[in-house]
């Protein structure tokens, strides 16, 4: 389903907070705050995740000269059981809250709903985004890091980060949300939880194709199409799918992926980065700055999510995936 926003809601501000290892990211200069402790000086990993979210929201409020009473909605999610880190951060912010789970696609699904609320006139200011915390996610979906389990080359590293944006009414000289595509759930029968990029690439392909077709657009209409966290291998699969569909070779260079680039060429991160905080941090930090400097005029951000759980994996189910896209313009 493609949505066109007639009022063109604006992205007014952003806040990005990351963990200590994320200092090694190629995007580290675009992060507002880098914590020196993985748990952000809290007792547990989950409490640390909550602090990442709270800090990112406070950064937005400070940048925008607002307080929590000015915010109409908080929309967000994470990967921990029942999204407790986001729920607890919402408790502290004390605003109307909609918790969302699209796995690693939550960074974009939250922005879509915030833009819809703005378009309807139901919101003046909405904060939207997503987060992840490496240790808590590894423990839930794979193994506690203390086990020291070895991972295959297709694995990706869950980022410790929270990225949020403030969405409001259209303003001149600010990036705005022009359209969005809410993706379907696509399942190509993948079963390997250590190869999320391969599982999610078909969902990204389906959503991007649907967006371009419904909008009567081509790849060259965009400065860049950045997927969320397909990683190095998943990005190659996505590009191969578009090449097989007849896309010209020169247009394939428009594809980028936040997970593939997040840690650069550091081989210790295997196939790249992942987690809701990965795309959220890159979109809210790096991408917003590219609009401000005038480097980009139109981009398509496509966050992908693997909709599995530890239980479905243990029961032998396949991995259904989704991808949500948001079209952002400037000028």
pLDDT in tens, 155-198: 999 999 999 999 999 999 999 999 999 999 999 999 998 899 99
Helix (H, G, I), strand (E, B) or coil at 265: coil
Q: What is the pLDDT of residues 224-279, one digit of tens each?
A: 999 999 999 999 999 999 999 999 999 999 999 999 999 999 999 999 999 999 99
Are 119 and 217 part of one and the same domain? no
Same domain, 159 and 266: no
Tokens 């020291």, residue located: 148
Same domain, 137 and 243: no
Cα 234 to Cα 110: distance, rounded to the nearest angstrom: 23
What local confidence, expressed as pLDDT, does residue 331 receive? 73
Q: Does position 144 have pLDDT exceeding 80, yes or no?
A: no
Which residues form the domain of 18? Answer: 2-168
Domain boundary among 168, 198, 217: 168
Same domain as 104, residue 43: yes
Quickly state the pLDDT bin for 149 (edges 50, 70, 90): low
Kindly state whether residues 188 and 287 are assigned to the same domain.
yes
The number of folded domains in the chain is 2
Write down the pLDDT at residue 136: 86
Residues 196 and 152 placed together within one structural domain of the fold: no
pLDDT digits 0-9 by tens, 261-271? 999 999 999 99
Of the CA atoms within 13 Å of residue 277, those in its CB half-sphere come to 30
| Global confidence as pTM | 0.96
Q: Domain boundary at 124, 149, 168, which?
A: 168
Residue 108 and residue 83 in one domain: yes
- The closest alpha carbon to 11, from 112, 141, 88, 81, belongs to 112
Residues 31 and 112 in one domain: yes
Per-residue pLDDT at 137: 83
Same domain, yes or no: 75 and 143: yes
Work out whether strand 10-18 and strand 33-34 pair parallel, antiparallel, or are unpaired. parallel
């Amino acid at each position: 389903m493609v949505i066109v926003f007639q009022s063109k809601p604006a992205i007014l501000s952003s806040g990005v907070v990351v963990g200590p290892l994320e200092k090694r990211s190629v995007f580290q200069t675009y992060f507002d705050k880098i914590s020196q402790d993985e748990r952000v000086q809290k007792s547990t990993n989950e409490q640390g995740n909550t602090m990442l979210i709270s800090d990112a929201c406070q950064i937005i409020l400070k940048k925008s000269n607002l307080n929590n009473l000015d915010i109409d909605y908080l929309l967000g999610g994470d990967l921990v059981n029942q999204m407790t880190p986001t729920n607890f951060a919402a408790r502290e912010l004390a605003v109307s809250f909609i918790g969302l789970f699209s796995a690693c696609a939550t960074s974009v699904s939250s922005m879509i709903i915030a833009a819809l609320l703005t378009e309807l006139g139901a919101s003046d200011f909405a904060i939207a985004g997503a987060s992840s915390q490496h240790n808590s996610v590894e423990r839930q979906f794979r193994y506690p890091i203390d086990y020291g389990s070895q991972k295959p080359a297709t694995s990706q590293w869950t980022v410790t980060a929270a990225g949020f944006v403030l969405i409001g009414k259209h303003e001149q000289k600010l990036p705005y949300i022009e359209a969005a595509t809410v993706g379907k759930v696509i399942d190509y029968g993948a079963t390997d939880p250590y190869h999320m990029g391969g599982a999610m690439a078909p969902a990204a392909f389906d959503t991007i194709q649907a967006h371009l077709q419904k909008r009567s657009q081509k790849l060259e209409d965009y400065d860049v199409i950045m997927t969320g966290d397909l990683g190095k291998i998943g990005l190659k699969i996505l590009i191969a799918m578009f090449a097989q569909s007849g896309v010209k070779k020169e247009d394939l260079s428009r594809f980028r992926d936040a997970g593939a680039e997040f840690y650069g060429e550091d081989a210790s991160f295997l196939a790249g980065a992942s987690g809701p905080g990965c795309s959220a941090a890159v979109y809210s930090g790096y991408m917003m700055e590219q609009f401000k400097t005038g480097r980009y005029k139109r981009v398509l951000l496509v966050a992908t999510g693997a909709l599995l759980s530890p239980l479905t994996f243990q029961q032998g189910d396949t991995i259904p995936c989704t991808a949500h896209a948001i079209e952002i313009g400037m000028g």
